[in-house]
Amino acid sequence: MSHQFDPTVLREYDIRGIIGDTLGAEDARAIGRTFGSMLREEGGNTVAVGFDGRVSSPMLDHALVEGLTASGCDVVRIGMGPTPMLYFAEASDENIDGGIMITGSHNPANYNGFKMVFQGRPFFGKDIAELGRRAAEGKWTDGNGSVSNRDVTDDYLDKLLTALDGIDRDYLARVKVAWDAGNGAAGAVLEKLTARLPGEHHVLFPEVDGNFPNHHPDPTVEENLADLKAIVDDKNLDFGIAFDGDGDRIGAIDGEGRVIWGDQLLMIYAEDLLSRQQGVTIIADVKASRALFDHVAKHGGKPLMWNTGHSLIKSKMKETGSPLAGEMSGHVFFADTYYGYDDALYAGLRLLAASARLGKSVTQLRGEMPAMLNTPEMRFQVDESRKFAAIEEVKARLADSDDDVNDTDGVRVTNADGWWLLRASNTQDVLVARAESDTQEGLDRLMAQIDEQLAASGLERGPQAGH
């Protein structure tokens, strides 16, 4: 017995594909069998399993558990909920050795996939490649593991609420917030969470529906925040929070309807944390604004620019002992008084706490940020065989440049006009570009430099590719 995966589903950070096309029950069974075998060889035995609200998730859950138990692993099923609740189940119980979340994250309804934790660390990159190789060889352990069900919701909510420890209850009682679950997996937990909060709270679209009838659950796309903006404006609320399909990425708007992007949220979290812990390392990905790195340094922190990708950032946090990290995509990681994984519900509460501790409204905090001119994240199709090679060509051409060239993840070039970035996506056949300046003229010059480098590699910023 062995199993061959469609090569497109084994991604850098997780396993993800199209149901009935590139991903199905046999794949889930093989993932369980192989992951379980790898875990048992490392001395582990018990795996927590959760799933999101997609129509295909219960089917994949059933097959995954079959595979895990056939490898000899015991399974603790936590049922449907957000990805961070699965992370919590794994992190908070020393008897659980691994975790697998079935989720399509922010992808369209016909996608699904798997995010994995292996003995307390993210399972990605080489681990996923090894899983694919071992499945193809049928290199599996045999056994007959047990299955139990556990409801961790109340314990998870108790832990989330520790984000507000020490915060003035009178302040919290005055706050008015909107929360948009977007019909994603966070909905049921979010309703229970807001019911336990002082203040005025409005929850949009908490009904879990894998068809996402109201809007697509990706809070990094501004058009998906239209309903949130409308209720914040209509009811004169202080701010709004939105979640992606599985609740590990946060989006936010202030009381005036301005988007607070991922790097801007990190500016707020960093200022709050650095008021209590000086000199710590705070990590952000290469797509983040220069304003963030300047802000961290100004408030006594050590800014560190790192690779895009939630698994890569989590690993770097462990290596450096960083208590806080984040990405433009809305993944935020707290390791000061939390577990170091990306949890958008916790991040929402930490925004509330930061506002209280800093003595400023979220709208004021957003308004004080420097007005930078930046492009959205531009993604354009490039042949898979060319995407990494093109980046290497750009690096070689810039080897003798007078500009500051950072090659942590792709190429980020800083000069008098600002900065521009060109990197290859780890998950799609696209190049990603971004630029930021203080002036429109500067931004135009930076974009011209990107186009010049692409042209030198026989490429151009052609049709935009989606996520």
CB 175 within 8 A of CB 70: no
Phi/psi for 140 (5° steps) reads -130, 145
Indicate the residue type of 109. A
Are the C-beta atoms of 47 and 68 separated by less than 8 Å? yes
CB 10 within 8 A of CB 132: yes
185: which DSSP letter? T
For residue 460 the two structure tokens come to 């151009």
Check if the beta carbon of residue 433 is closer than 8 Å to that of residue 451: no
Q: At 153, which helix (H) or strand (E)?
A: helix 153-161
Find the catalytic residue in 37, 57, 105, 322. Answer: 105
**Alpha-carbon span 209 to 334, nearest angstrom:** 29
CA distances (Å), origin 440, targets 138, 248, 351, 460, 463: 57, 34, 31, 21, 23
For residue 34 the two structure tokens come to 């192989």
Block residue for tokens 């992007």: 261
Read off the tokens for 382: 């490039």
Q: Is 322 a catalytic residue?
A: no
Say if residue 42 is exposed, middle or buried (CB neighbours under 10 Å; 0-12, 13-18, 19+).
exposed
Closest CA to 413 of 229, 328, 264, 290: 290
- The CA-based dihedral angle spanning residues 147, 153, 154, 155, taken in that order and rounded to the nearest 10 degrees: 70
- CB contact at 8 A, 33 and 135: yes
Give me the helix-helix angle, 83-91 and 344-358, nearest 10°. Answer: 90
Of the candidates 296, 246, 254, 293, which has an alpha carbon nearest to the alpha carbon of residue 275?
296
CA 367 to each of CA 234, 345, 364: distance values in angstroms, whole numbers, following the listed order = 20, 24, 5
Residues serving a catalytic function are 105
